[in-house]
Chains A and B, each alone.
Chain A
Amino acid sequence: MSVTVEAPMPGKILEIKVKAGDTVKEDDELAVLEAMKMENLIYAPAGGTVKEIKVEAGQNVVTGQVLLTIE
């Protein structure tokens, strides 16, 4: 079962804290999104293995844009 992690608001990805293949639990820190001059942590909505990371640090994202997928 694939779970997508989407950007909750528009901003810039500052850091991706995981890589493909990592095992994560629900509520683990996945990435740091800078929005409205504030650093926001993106947490895992569910546990699993990180399948694919679709964005990179420094990239601007919009609300709903897929950041990574977890299986």
Chain B
Amino acid sequence: MVDAIVNGLSGLAAGSLHLHWTNPVMIAIGCGLLYLGIKKGFEPLLLVPIGFGCILVNIPLADVMGEGGFLRTIYDAGVITELFPLLIFIGIGAMTDFSPLLQNPATFLLGAAGQFGIFLTLGLALLLGFSQLDAVAVGIIGACDGPTAIYVSSQYAPHLLGAVSVAAYSYMSLVPVFQPPIMKFLTTQKEKNIIMTNKGIKPVSKTARILFPLVMTICGGLIAPMGLPLIGTIMLGNLMRESGVVSRLTKASENEIANVVTLFLGLSVGATMAGDAFLNPKTLLILALGFVAICLDTVCGVLFGKLMCLLSGGKVNPLIGAAGISAFPMAARVVQREGQKYNKKNYLLMHAMGANAGGQIGSVMAAAVMLSVLKGMGII
């Protein structure tokens, strides 16, 4: 009888007795992510489930990520299979209006330049001792796009998924903080004041807007087949939106599907943040390199903007280059605010939106190109 009672009580004490030092630290980190999401408004849709998943997985003996654990079930269903990021991408395509990009196709190139941080950071990660595939996962933080980063890292460096995702989502929220100084530093006073008008910008026909996702999918897929799941899903979403004939599916993709998947994805990513995997110097390095990647994206975007300014005879304001990253539409809003700060008569928003939409496309294509190049080289 006494034994039974003691055993019963030990069942209640076991959790606390099995605490490893990494558990409370990670629980604190999970709470930190919750604080960033709830109190500071940093990408709450992802950081709240990620933070909570992190707390759950670091409570000992609950084994939520063990064989048969509920987080393991969700993780296996959607992260290992790549399904979750791809389903979110359908929603993103359904929510995005690419007409500013189509009205000014030159902004495609700004969207490309805004991805150079991915490749430069990959090189930096290699120099710092990361393995080739780990460096790929670290570099993809520079895509500044959650689903893309999750898609790449869960396939090729799943042990880094937690760090990569936390970096990607946290830094996206910080875009309004670190972009303005870079923009200020890299442009001359004259360049900052270049006014870009919207006169002469013609609307895009419905036919062109419907053909765009088809062209992107077929051409992009032919050039970079390893990235077709990414390209295809975002373009499917966009095609549904532009066709206007499947509004039930479009609405479901933007709302119900995206919301459910976001919840499951966030929980799954948080569940990879077990203390022994996350708490090592490499994680800090990944967080630092992720920051560097997005800064380099901004630098390359603005520098390319300066090149376009030169080639256009001073018509392009280089500030819009900063919107060539995939943080949509935040980066475009940053450019509009900064442009108006330097010259109240300057309304860069439409041009910046074009560059930002270009960045969305650019990040998908950059990831697709990178994966296809790696496949060609036999690395994956």
Contacts and interface: CB of A to CB of B under 8 A. Distances in A.
Does A associate with B in a complex?
Answer: yes
Contacts of B201: 63
Given A8-B197, A27-B344, A64-B199, A37 B336 contact: no
A35 B198 CA distance: 13
A40 B350 CA distance: 12
B338 to A, nearest CB: 13
A19 B267 CA distance: 53
A63 to B, nearest CB: 5
A64 B202 CA distance: 12
B349 to A, nearest CB: 6
Nearest to B350: A9
Contact of B345 (A37, A38, A45, A63): A45
Size category of the binding interface on chain B: 10 to 19
A41 B340 contact: yes
Contacts of B345: 43, 45
Interface in A12-71: 27, 35-38, 40-41, 43, 45, 63-64
A51 to B, nearest CB: 20
B198 A8 contact: yes
Contacts of B332: 36
A9 B198 contact: yes
Given A36-B329, A36-B332, A38-B333, A63 B349 contact: no
B349 A35 contact: yes
B234 interface: no
Interface string B328-343: 0100110010001000
A30 B363 CA distance: 38
Interface core residue of A8, A35, A40, A64 (most chain B CB under 10 Å): A8
A27 to B, nearest CB: 5
Contacts of A40: 336, 340, 347, 349
Interface residues of A, number: 13
A65 to B, nearest CB: 11
A9 B99 CA distance: 14
B303 interface: no
B336 A38 contact: yes
Interface core residue of A9, A43, A63 (most chain B CB under 10 Å): A9
B353 interface: yes
Contacts of A27: 344
B349 A38 contact: yes
Given A63-B199, A63-B201, A36 B347 contact: no
A36 B201 CA distance: 15
A35 B197 CA distance: 15
A36 B353 contact: yes
A66 B354 CA distance: 25
A17 B100 CA distance: 29
A1 B199 CA distance: 23
A10 to B, nearest CB: 8
Interface string B194-226: 000111010000000000000000000000000
Nearest to A26: B344
Nearest to A41: B340
A38 B100 CA distance: 15
Contacts of A37: 329
Nearest to A8: B347
Interface of B: 100, 197-199, 201, 329, 332-333, 336, 340, 344-345, 347, 349-350, 353
Interface of A: 8-9, 27, 35-38, 40-41, 43, 45, 63-64
29 contacts: A8-B197, A8-B347, A9-B198, A9-B347, A9-B349, A9-B350, A27-B344, A35-B350, A36-B100, A36-B332, A36-B349, A36-B353, A38-B329, A38-B333, A38-B336, A38-B349, A40-B336, A40-B340, A40-B347, A40-B349, A41-B340, A43-B340, A43-B344, A43-B345, A45-B345, A63-B198, A63-B199, A63-B201, A64-B199
9 A-B pairs with the lowest CB-CB distances in the bound complex, closest first: A8-B347, A43-B344, A63-B198, A27-B344, A9-B198, A9-B350, A38-B333, A36-B353, A9-B347
